[in-house]
Amino acid sequence: MTTEVLQINCNSLQKAKEIILNGGAVAFPTETVYGLGANAFDDDAVENIFRIKGRPNDNPLIVHVHKDYDISTLVDEVPDYAKLLQKAFLPGPLTMVYNSKNRVSSAVSCGLDTLAVRIPSHEGAQEFLKYLNLPVAAPSANISKHVSPTSAEHVYADLNGKLQLILDGGQSQGGIESTVLDCTGKVPVVLRAGLITREMIAQVVGECGEYVYKDGMRALSPGMKYKHYSPNCSTMLFKYEELDEAVKIYNNTTDEGKKVFLLCDNQTAQIAGVKNVLNLGNDENEIASNLYSKLREGEEVAELIIAVAPEKQDGVMVGVMNRLEKACR
Ligand code: AMP
Ligand code: MG
């Protein structure tokens, strides 16, 4: 299969619509990462998404809709706090999990009685979803377990030949996947940390829980139990306080003739003073935005990436650390 990469315009949107209505998959940009989309009403199309990615079939997908889509056709019992959060953060990088009306394919939620819904703010994503006027089931558009894609080039590198069309909407600015928020209980609970932080949610509705997955537990959000986001080279992860040790290993391994790169923020890079750096930038949003592109850049040049966590650990860094820990597992 030939994979076309097209800018978003009337012609490419029409092509995308034909592919989706025929049960195919189209990759599209969002403000977090690129998605691999299929018609959420079509069982075969949704199952095909799992096949293309090699995704475990117990890791449910998020349904994406445009901002004027009536989600009450898909889910029921939207609690009052969820309505406040919709108003505060949507469209945007927040996925909300509701009780499902089971109108979409059961393959979307892998048999769970809930449905994760997202309204992306990216202009190209909105155009694509509006043009289709369908709920689009979409995981990140990468091979399962590999680093998530933040550009059309990343999608092409992973999935060339496995889908017909990639809609190119430039670089995804957010950089890490959406916050996943359970909205089926009395208070919202963060299932996956992201750019909309627990603090931001609590500010709007007063309270917000956090679900911490531990190995062996029944996963509330099954995606959390898998190795994820990993570059195709060796990796190590150190705490900010362990920078000295990280630099020692960098130097020793470099002396052995290995290509080693330090992945860290700008502040840490200045202190470390080593030659090969994958610099994530300065503030938390910059770090999130650069994380996946630096991991992908790193796997091209390095045999070993030594990641050092930033000093700041709250806010958006909770989501960044979650990805870093899984990438370097
Ligand atoms: P990805 O598509 O790779 O960004 O992953 C989607 C994330 O959303 C995974 O962590 C899933 O476990 C989570 N998710 C999707 N649907 C549900 C759901 N119905 N309930 C809980 N988590 C979900
Ligand atoms: Mg993913």
**Token representation of residue 298:** 């790193």
The C-alpha angle with vertex 35 and arms to 30 and 39, in degrees rounded to 5, equals: 115
Is the pLDDT higher at 57 or at 294? Answer: 294
DSSP 148: P
- The neighbourhood of ligand 2, an ion, using CB within 5 A, equals 140
pLDDT at 229: 87
pLDDT at 6: 98
Q: Quote the ligand 1 centre to 116 CA distance (angstroms).
A: 7
Q: Cα(210)–Cα(233) distance, rounded to whole angstroms?
A: 31
Q: Is the pLDDT of residue 27 over 80?
A: yes
Q: Quote the ligand 2 centre to 159 CA distance (angstroms).
A: 14
Q: Is the pLDDT of residue 226 over 60?
A: no
The C-alpha angle with vertex 316 and arms to 313 and 322, in degrees rounded to 5, equals: 70
Ligand nearest to the CA of 100: 1
Q: Is the pLDDT of residue 214 over 90?
A: no
Q: Is the pLDDT of residue 155 over 80?
A: yes
pLDDT at 160: 98
pLDDT at 228: 79
Q: Which of these ranges, 41-55, 83-97, 222-236, 279-293, has the smallest mean pLDDT?
A: 222-236
Q: Quote the ligand 2 centre to 138 CA distance (angstroms).
A: 9
109 lines ligand 1 (CB under 6 A): yes
Q: Please identify which residue in the block is written with the tokens 């860094």.
A: 317
Q: What percent of the chain has pLDDT over 70?
A: 96
112 lines ligand 1 (CB under 6 A): yes
User: Which atom of ligand 1 is the closest one to the Cα of 59?
Assistant: 12
Identify which of 148, 180, 225, 322 to mutate to test ligand 1's pocket (most ligand atoms within 8 A of the CB). Answer: 180
- Average pLDDT, stretch 256-274? 97
pLDDT at 259: 98
Q: Cα(170)–Cα(152) distance, rounded to whole angstroms?
A: 7
Ligand nearest to the CA of 30: 1
Residue 223's pLDDT band, with cuts at 50, 70 and 90, is low
Q: Which of these ranges, 90-94, 216-220, 239-243, has the smallest mean pLDDT?
A: 216-220
pLDDT at 215: 64
pLDDT at 212: 80
Mean pLDDT across the chain: 95
